[in-house]
Structure 1
Amino acid sequence: MHIVLLEPEIPQNTGNIGRTCVATGSSLHLIKPLGFSLDEKSLKRSGLDYWKLLDLHVYEDFNDFLSRNPQARIHMATTKATNTYADVAYRESDFLMFGRESSGIPEEILLGNKENCIRIPMLPSIRSLNLSNAVSIVVYEALRQTGFAALQKEGELHHHHW
């Protein structure tokens, strides 16, 4: 899977999302401008020691992203979508795109991609979920549909003798 963050603003969110990407074998694509520097301590602290294992791609702007990923099948997460994230049939090569914490994906991008927009259902009284939580919800549904390829699916409980 590919996670795309368009102009993320809060380094802790991107750090957490980076960790989720490493845990799920997903790539992280960041589209500038970023609201922080990629060497910020807070970013690395959120991603812990996982950050160096991350498959990271950085782009100058949305057009740069499109030109470098011409075959990308992009699902755009937005509260304005009519379909939910669970209505989509995902593929392992899909791109899951999320906008800025403060304003989401710009309307002009959404308008050209209406049929690819997805939303996470929530009560109407709340504006949106935290970005890193939203990414986790959608990426794990996409991975569930594609059979959790390459991920460890079983844990192990150890018996303790008291």
Structure 2
Amino acid sequence: MRIALYQPDIPQNAGTILRLGACLGIAVDIIEPCGFPLSHASLRRAGMDYLDHVDMTRHADFDAFQAAQSEAGCRIVLLTTRADVPHTRFAFSPDDTLLLGRESAGVPDDVHARADSAVTIPMRPGLRSINVAMAAAIVAGEAARQTGLFPAA
């Protein structure tokens, strides 16, 4: 399983997601360009000393990312408010990559169309979205539970 960030805007959210990946053993892909310099200095506050423990891959653009996912046999599952399928009703696979869009704008329509599947987190009516790092944790937790990433308690 992997988490991918499409052109992230906010270094604190990216750092938090990298920390999540380190703690859960989930690799993280960064699809550039980023809205900030992608460096340890910009990610340090949220990522703390976990950044050395995450398997992170940078991709020059979405085409490079999609080619790598295709070569690895990974399905791209987009997290979006525009999906009809709740993440709790989706059958995740251990080879899935959870794709999250920019905090400011999500993903463009062409990227949305190129995802293999799309899921949403059910929310109360009238509210727009959940913070991208929180969304990553919610959906990664469900995907990990379904696929057995977490050992039985």
Aligned position for 1:100? 102
Say which SS state the counterpart of residue 22 (structure 1) adopts: helix
Alpha carbon RMSD of aligned pairs, Å? 1.5
CA separation in 2, counterparts of 1:120 and 1:63? 26
Aligned position for 2:85? 83
Q: Which moved more, 1:122-131 or 1:78-87?
A: 122-131
Give the letter for the 2:24 counterpart: T
Cα deviation for residue 41 of structure 1 reads 2.5
User: Normalized against structure 1, the TM-score is what?
Assistant: 0.87
Unaligned runs of 5+ in 2: none
Cα deviation for residue 87 of structure 1 reads 1.3
CA separation in 1, counterparts of 2:49 and 2:125? 38
Say which SS state the counterpart of residue 96 (structure 1) adopts: strand
**Poorly superposed stretches of 4+, deviation over 3 Å:** none
Give the letter for the 2:130 counterpart: L
CA separation in 2, counterparts of 1:17 and 1:112? 23
Larger of the two Rg values belongs to structure: 1
Cα deviation for residue 93 of structure 1 reads 1.6
CA separation in 1, counterparts of 2:60 and 2:10? 18
Cα deviation for residue 124 of structure 1 reads 2.6
Structure 1 residues 20-99: aligned runs within 5 Å? 20-39=20-39, 41-70=41-70, 71-99=73-101
Say which SS state the counterpart of residue 69 (structure 1) adopts: helix
User: Normalized against structure 2, the TM-score is what?
Assistant: 0.92
Which one has a larger percent helix, Structure 1 or Structure 2? 2
Pick closer, same or farther for the CA change 1:44–1:85 going to 2, 3 Å.
Answer: same
Cα deviation for residue 45 of structure 1 reads 1.7
Unaligned runs of 5+ in 1: 155-162
Q: Calculate percent identity across the aligned residue pairs.
A: 38
